[in-house]
Structure 1
Amino acid sequence: MARVAFLIANGYEDSEMKNPFEAIKESGHETVFIGIKKGDVCKGKKNTVSYEIELAAANSDAKEFDAVVIPGGSAPEELRVNEDVVKFVKDLNNRSKLVAGICHGPQVMVSADILNDKELTCFIGIRDDIKNSGGNYRDEEVVVSQNIITSRTPKDEPAFIREILAKLN
């Protein structure tokens, strides 16, 4: 089974964290919460779920993971300015491991500079960031481009989860 990192900070979109996490866990994959500081408890922006960071990005090794999932909300803005988080995502991509982001999650991918010539989607408010980073924006519920999977909003979660599980299995 795969070992999947979930990148979190306070303010993630609750369902975009909870639903993929539960589906991946139920499928038998190992999950690890990675963030800026081990032990911090991060809450969703709607305050319906919270998770504790199990591993600091500074102590994370991409060689030990098969995938990363980046939920949206306001958390990606905090995560993308942390060089250890960015390095982790960049290293996973360089190993052709799965990098999945929904809503604002691709902001971390932009900062990791991994979107050149990739097809992807995101929350419409950051589509220009995607284009400016060399990505090709598509307004679709889910886009799979090599090792990168992206979706737009919570309404696209079923397709996002389906494609992640297809890649992991």
Structure 2
Amino acid sequence: MFEDSEYSEPAKVFEEAGHTVTTIEMEQWKTVKGKQGEVEVTIDGSNDSVKPEDFDALFIPGGFSPDQLRADARFVS
């Protein structure tokens, strides 16, 4: 439930700057699509398999995703 351009454009900029973009969702290896169907992303890790201290930044694309994440205590913590 993310807005395609609000994922693809920032992710591209991060990668061009030499950063690694790791996608996180509730289910690892799941494939998700943007709301417009233009972007397809395979999830690298689940929220239970990653640790915040392993990352330098958190990027949450717009769309309905932030609302869903806020409602899940595991993502908030």
TM over 0.5: yes
The one of the two structures with greater contact order (alpha-carbon pairs below 8 A, sep at least 6) is 2
More strand by share: 1
C-alpha distance in 2, partners of 1:58/1:80? Answer: 16
Instruction: Give the counterpart letter for 1:16 in structure 2.
Output: E
Q: Which runs of 5+ in 1 are unaligned?
A: 1-10, 88-169
Q: Distance in 2 between matches of 1:51 and 1:69?
A: 15
Matched, 1:84 2:74: yes
Larger CA Rg, structure 1 vs 2: 1
Number of residue pairs aligned between Structure 1 and Structure 2: 77
* SS of residue paired to 2:23: strand
Unaligned runs of 5+ in 2: none
Amino acid at match of 2:68: E
Give the TM-score of the pair, scaled to structure 1: 0.44
Runs of 4+ aligned structure 1 residues displaced above 4 Å come to none
- What TM-score do the two structures reach when normalised by structure 2? 0.91
Any conservation in 2 of the 1:13–1:45 contact (CA below 8 Å)?
A: yes
1:20 is the counterpart of 2:4: no
